[in-house]
Amino acid sequence: MAEGGSEKPTKYPAVPQYGPYTIRDLKPGEKKKWCSCGLSKKQPWCDDSHKCTGFTPLLWTVPEKQQKLYQICACKYTRKPPYCDGTHVNLPCDVLERQKGCAQQKEHSNCQKLCTSCGFIPDF
């Protein structure tokens, strides 16, 4: 989720996928760490790739009321993490525009991990 509250965000995550992951077989009470930076290779869960990005994972406990399926956000812009809230629908154009207009764009060729000013990642 872009950080900075309802005001203009102060940093932006990478977008692994423009739509949710459908997750099955979560156990009520199970503790999960939802990736908020978008860099984890174990989406939608954290693999500690966020180090040095300023993002931290969301600690989430699977609710006691059991569900068969969970729609877990993969775009990282949801306002109800870790659940998908539909924000991903209008997101691709916003992300591309932000990256095209990024003030740090000249530094993108040297970017090792994530430009938090726009969400650019080197292998995007």
Residues that bind ligand FES (CB under 6 A): 19-20, 73-75, 77-78, 84-88
- By beta-carbon proximity to ligand FES, the closer residue of 9 and 108 is 9
- By beta-carbon proximity to ligand FES, the closer residue of 43 and 105 is 43
What is the smallest separation between the CB atom of 103 and ligand FES, expressed in angstroms?
A: 25
Classify strands 31-34 and 58-61 as parallel, antiparallel or unpaired: antiparallel
Report the distance separating Cα 66 and Cα 84, nearest Å. Answer: 17
| Residue 23 DSSP class | E
Omega cis (within 30) before 44: yes
- By beta-carbon proximity to ligand FES, the closer residue of 35 and 118 is 35
